[in-house]
């Protein structure tokens, strides 16, 4: 998590088809204000799918 005054926070990328959190990455809140979306490989679906940003618990 981003601490007070820091711009970088840790996020998880969730597959839109199987709803599993497959990847974790860092996001700079100053450069990217909206939700991050990337096409990544899902090993459960065995294909490239759209992954959207979610929070890490």
In a structure prediction context, what are the per-residue pLDDT tens digits for the chain, which is 57 residues long? 666 778 899 999 999 999 999 999 999 989 989 999 999 999 999 999 999 999 998
- How many residues does the structure list for the chain? 57
Q: What does CATH list as the number for 8-54?
A: 2.20.28.120
Contacts of 44 (CB under 8 A, 6+ apart): 15, 18, 20
**Residue 6 confidence (pLDDT):** 81
pLDDT for the residue numbered 7:
87
For residue 53, count CB atoms less than 10 angstroms from its CB and return exposed for 0-12, middle for 13-18, buried for 19 or more. Answer: middle
pLDDT, residue 1, reads: 61
pTM of the model: 0.82
Q: Give the per-residue pLDDT at 57.
A: 81
pLDDT at 2: 61
């Amino acid at each position: 998590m981003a601490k007070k005054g820091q711009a970088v926070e840790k996020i998880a990328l969730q597959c839109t088809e199987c709803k599993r959190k497959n990847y974790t990455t860092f996001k700079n809140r100053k450069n990217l204000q909206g939700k991050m979306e990337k096409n990544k490989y899902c090993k459960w679906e065995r294909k490239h799918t759209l992954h959207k940003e979610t929070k890490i618990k």
